[in-house]
Structure 1
């Protein structure tokens, strides 16, 4: 037993001998270094893909990232990964060399050329991967290029709006109406006007229907617009609308017509710039920027040109809001090539509107609000001009005042003949005299607009609207001087003399609306009643409501109606309008409308 114990002691002493330690340590270190160098060389020859590279490849394969952009990002990620690998190897070599130069006590000696590879725990690698993945996905979601269930970012800046209206309309004419009402708008639309010489033309001029009822006419209005937030301060919009013709005051399409397709017109096209928090500038074709009523501008009317709108709370009282608008609106340009068959062209003429308005909203309390606005509208150069002597009999095809006839008109304004036609000296009695007509009056309008919103029994809304317009440029003497005896309408029965001429410069409207003025939610309703009086030369007859008295001026009467919302953004409306002339031959028109409206 003693011998084995002595043998064990000897072996233990030999194992603890200082000379045996370095040999075994060097052997183990040499083996480990060889393994690490081999692994490092293999890694350098075939680098593993990083988490970023794998993520980009996945986005490309899923279709969330387009191929061209993905390949560019992939190339950049691989380049950055390779550069990082090279930097890591160089740092490792430097660290190994330093460690070999000054090895710690008891550590195995590192020879030149050995590579020292630091060990990164799996938990740290997982944290790095998750952090990189989170940052990339956050950026992808914010920019909208790697979210499969979401639309790209630019689509969030575009929205679509539209509305549809189906209307049944009946118009009833009194049997006592005068049946000789000349359709002056049709005369101006024709290429040659109307011959006013009874010796050369025995046919009647175009006449309006004044006695035959028109019942159960179905009409539709469809409008569709695309609007974009180009940036935080710039917006743009385009809207199209269906219509029978290019009338500026109506987008109604009469159904029927042999089931022919309906026309689509450009209704709006504008771009706006929010210059400051209180000023917006808009240009193109846009809705009127002024607070007004349909006595002046039809609800379907859009204006061309440029305008600026202002809106600012009063600093000393936030319950008072100040607003204003100014607009330059080109109405019509003369033909660049008139006369077409002459070497001498007429000089350029253009018609335009300058409008300016200021107003305020006042929140009196939780139940009462007031709004008031004052406006001035100068319709420049829209009145008719009498031409210089015009020898149509000698081959002339136009006269130098033809440009002054309105491009569009309804009815009611005082009109004048535009052509000073020279008579053929060989046969003066039988010289044809084709004529166009233009406005005899100028138009410079002063507009006062008032609104009061209140509540009845603390629950039901009640709104009162009032509007007064006066044509400051109205002057009967100037009209007759301008026409040189060529005034053609607004006379009393029996003759066409200055003594029987009747017109006026004023228009006013009063209206009350009980309930929700604009039904939007299911169950919303309103009823309303109003009265209008529009004297012949109070406003240009071209731009106001086309329903009241069939459009235009020289009209007075009442209207009543109501609306009920069947569902969200869908409502029905019924309306009765009873009108007659202010001056001149009798013309009574009653209109009944039922309509369904939907908005989206």
Structure 2
């Protein structure tokens, strides 16, 4: 029996080494393409000198925020004022090569929030390097971005799965194909590899994934996008260890744990999504989106808590003074459906979420608008541990009280 167990351990170690070698080879390919791109794109530059292409952009947000959360604060209520500041630049340094950098406010240990609370008796606030990347347009159909970058506008995800403030580290390839006429207007595919945590005593933690989504034209004003995706978080325990040690702040860890205190499930999340847009009314455009998630790596009691969905309806636009938009969002995630570390931070629920969000936005002036937001959230799983389970967890991470949260934002983009 000992010989069999020993053989199994050897095989497991070999599999881990193969996984590590595979991701390192993928990253090596990405980096090799990045190094060769200047040679591929070399030639006489057309247009202005690179320093004439530098563009600065940024935004400022001032926020009042209130909470009604029985059992969490004195009298169940809390109020605070916060600010967010982001300033970055992009430049076309050569034909087909763009670089970018950005500084952001907020706690550098918090990957899901750029906010800075107004407290500390006039003490100085933190600002950190948030982005530094190079983006190669290697052809009319393929581009590669590498470094530390915001993936928000590069792929299709919900803010329940990945908070809008998250800045990834690694590389992403993007393929775009035309539809050659007819109802199919285009097809986009993305593939990525992200570094999460380097370990000096064992294999590293990383994430990789891919998605594909065609877009269809429905008449003269409507578009329909449908897609599927998959993302695997390899050795997520290293990320959970960072949270436990206070080296990663933001979302609390809300997954099922095994008897030895480690994560019960792996995270191999498949998803499907659909998005419909209608711009028949310039004043009241409509956008409807829905995402569905299934964690194929769930184990034990996690297999009964491995699903999530997100839906959003938005009507209107707020980019011009006097224009307004209304938005309603539905969040639902069981504890082991999606990985906790980068989920929507404003719900305060991590991966264990049952909630709603309502937004009202109105344009005030060029680049500026007012945003009123209300959240009502609860835990998808309240009772702990599940009946008949020996699974353990930190009970404080499974809050059974309903939380109301409201925000008043002034946002200026420049």
**If the TM-score is normalised by the length of the shorter chain, which range does it land in?**
0.7 to 0.9
The corresponding residue for 2:394 is none
1:472 aligns with 2:271: no
Q: How much does 1:315 deviate?
A: 2.3
| Equivalent residue in structure 2 for 1:370, among 224, 229, 232 | 224
Q: How much does 1:212 deviate?
A: 5.0
| Equivalent residue in structure 1 for 2:190, among 325, 333, 339 | 325
Q: How much does 1:174 deviate?
A: 2.8
1:167 aligns with 2:63: yes
TM-score w.r.t. structure 1 length? 0.55
1:379 aligns with 2:233: yes
State how far apart, in whole Å, the 1-side matches of 2:283 and 2:56 are. Answer: 34
The corresponding residue for 1:156 is 52
1:414 aligns with 2:253: no
Q: How much does 1:415 deviate?
A: 2.6
Within-5 A mapping of 1:61-72:
none
Q: How much does 1:316 deviate?
A: 4.5
The corresponding residue for 1:262 is 125
The corresponding residue for 1:290 is 155
Within-5 A mapping of 1:131-530:
153-175=49-71, 209=72, 213-288=76-151, 289-317=154-182, 319-334=184-199, 336=200, 346=201, 348-383=202-237, 408=248, 409-416=251-258, 437-455=261-279, 459-476=283-300, 504-516=305-317, 519-530=318-329
The corresponding residue for 1:573 is 371
- Do the aligned residues in 1 keep the contact of 2:288 with 2:314 (CA within 8 Å)? yes
Q: State the Cα deviation string for residues 51-92 of structure 1 (Å, max 9, x = none).
A: xxxxxxxxxxxxxxxxxxxxxxxxxxxxxxxxxxxxxxxxxx
1:531 aligns with 2:345: no
Q: State the Cα deviation string for residues 209-250 of structure 1 (Å, max 9, x = none).
A: 367534331011100001110111101001010103421111
Taking a change above 3 Å as real, the CA distance of residues 403 and 221 of structure 1, as seen in their structure-2 partners, is closer
Q: How much does 1:359 deviate?
A: 0.5
What secondary structure does 1:277 align onto?
A: coil
The corresponding residue for 2:360 is 562
TM-score w.r.t. structure 2 length? 0.78
What secondary structure does 2:51 align onto?
A: helix
Q: How much does 1:509 deviate?
A: 1.3
Q: State the Cα deviation string for residues 499-524 of structure 1 (Å, max 9, x = none).
A: xxx960011012111102xx322222
Count of paired positions:
349
Query: More deviation in 312-321 or 371-380?
Result: 312-321
What secondary structure does 2:340 align onto?
A: coil
State how far apart, in whole Å, the 2-side matches of 1:265 and 1:464 are. Answer: 35
Higher strand share: 2
Runs ≥4 in structure 1, deviation > 6 angstroms?
A: 401-406
The corresponding residue for 1:592 is 406
State how far apart, in whole Å, the 2-side matches of 1:329 and 1:382 are. Answer: 12
What secondary structure does 2:363 align onto?
A: strand
What secondary structure does 2:220 align onto?
A: coil
Taking a change above 3 Å as real, the CA distance of residues 544 and 157 of structure 1, as seen in their structure-2 partners, is same
- Do the aligned residues in 1 keep the contact of 2:70 with 2:77 (CA within 8 Å)? no
Q: How much does 1:416 deviate?
A: 4.0
Unaligned 5+ residue runs, structure 2? 1-45, 384-399
Q: How much does 1:441 deviate?
A: 1.0
State how far apart, in whole Å, the 2-side matches of 1:503 and 1:467 are. Answer: 19
Q: How much does 1:413 deviate?
A: 1.3
State how far apart, in whole Å, the 2-side matches of 1:171 and 1:245 are. Answer: 24
State how far apart, in whole Å, the 2-side matches of 1:256 and 1:357 are. Answer: 42
Q: How much does 1:405 deviate?
A: 6.4
The corresponding residue for 2:392 is none
- Do the aligned residues in 2 keep the contact of 1:384 with 1:416 (CA within 8 Å)? no
State how far apart, in whole Å, the 1-side matches of 2:69 and 2:104 are. Answer: 30
Larger relative contact order (Cα-Cα within 8 Å, sequence gap ≥ 6)? 2
The corresponding residue for 2:346 is 547
Query: More deviation in 159-168 or 361-370?
Result: 361-370
Higher helix share: 1
Taking a change above 3 Å as real, the CA distance of residues 459 and 237 of structure 1, as seen in their structure-2 partners, is closer
